Structure 1
Amino acid sequence: MKPLYKGLILAALQCAIVLSLGGKLLYDRATCPRVWVKTIPWDPSLPIRGRYLALRLSSQPGDPHFVETNDKRVLFFVPEYSTSIEQRRNAEIWAEVTIPHKGPPRPIRLGVKQDGQIVPVDIN
């Protein structure tokens, strides 16, 4: 077999792996429960640097999916030139998360609580 064909097969295999992961995440988002959870900022010591919010989920006993979300830590990545969250530093930040069958909650979007309602924040 020619090296060109081997390279094309390897590239197709790598693309299939990435696409299958994306498909699994989309399937989980469509089928697994979603809940809004209050968050508390925390400061991780991670070697990666970038624009992300490090959040600790803070649910109360009796909330839906309390066991899966209480005191879990998630990272929410923010676009480079977004200022929406920085303008709301004193607001109560909530995160909508997907509760997968296995693994930690996956953040979908952020919101702030205003007049008893959670209003999603447009980050883009």
Structure 2
Amino acid sequence: MIIDVNSSQGTYQIILKRGSLNDIKKYCDFNRKVMIITDEGVPKKYLETVKSQCKLSNEVIVKQGESSKSIKTYEYCLKEMLNNNFNRNDLVIALGGGVVGDLAGFVASTYMRGI
């Protein structure tokens, strides 16, 4: 199922499909650096599935739970992006839900005023 979402910033899609992680490169432009933010509860095979489709990827693995919604974790993510020369044309992927989505969204929206 594909859901088209219209917002004041433009249109984007939400894709709900079993096995879509195996074909994520169909939906994302991986011809750039990719920062994957995930937590310890996400099985490693999912991280490896995404990484195997990227030309150049880095990952940040945080602790599970609300404690990862912290300035310290946020700062760590930003430092990883700076140390790996991410720019506004690069991509941040939240691999997980809840805290991971909140953290990755906040990192992406504030790094270099949004990527």
Interval of TM-score (by shorter of Structure 1 and Structure 2): under 0.3
Relative contact order, CA 8 A, sep 6+: which one is greater? 2
Q: Could you state the TM-score of these two structures normalised by the residue count of structure 1?
A: 0.24
Structure showing greater Rg: 1
Q: Could you state the TM-score of these two structures normalised by the residue count of structure 2?
A: 0.26
